[in-house]
Structure 1
Amino acid sequence: MLDVHKIREDFPILKRKVNGKPLVYFDNAATSQTPQVVIDTIVDYYSNYNANIHRGVHTLSQEATDAYEVARKTIQQHFNAKHAHEIILTSGTTHSINIVATGFTNFLSKGDEIIVSALEHHSNIVPWQMLCERTGAVLKVIPMNEDGELLMDVYDSLLCDKTKLVFTNHISNALGTINPIEEIIEKAHKVGAAVLIDGAQSCPHIKPDVQALDADFYVASAHKLCGPTGVGLLYGKEEWLNKLPPYQGGGEMIEQVTFEKTTYAGLPHKFEAGTPNICGGIAFGAALEYMNNIGFDTIASYENELLEYGTKKLLEIEGLKIYGTSENKTSVISFNLENIHPYDVGTIVDKLGIAVRTGHHCAQPIMDFYKIPGTIRASFSFYNTKEEIDALVEAVKKAKMMLS
Structure 2
Amino acid sequence: MLMAVGITVFYIIFVWMVFFRFRWLKFNIVWGIVSGWVGLHLLLIFLVALRFYQPYTVDSHVIRSTIQILPRLTQPTILTEVLVEPNTPVRKGDPLYRFDTTIFQHQVDAAEAQLVAAEQNAKILQQDVAAASNAVIRAEAQLEYSTQQQKRFTDLVPQGGARQDELDRWNAQVEEDTAAVAEAKANLEKAQLALGSTIDGVNTGVAQARAQLAEAEYFLGNTTLVAPEDGMIVSQQARPGLVVGDVRLGAIASFVTAADPYILATFRQQNLKFVAPGQEVEIALDLYPGEIFKGRVEAVWWATSQGQYLPSGRLPEFVLPKLPGRIAVEITFDDPPADRILAAGAHAAVAIYTGGGESFAFLRRINIRLYSFANFIRPLDV
Q: Give me the TM-score of the superposition, normalised by structure 2.
A: 0.21
Q: Which of the pair has the greater relative contact order for Cα pairs under 8 Å at 6+ separation?
A: 2
TM-score w.r.t. length of structure 1 = 0.20
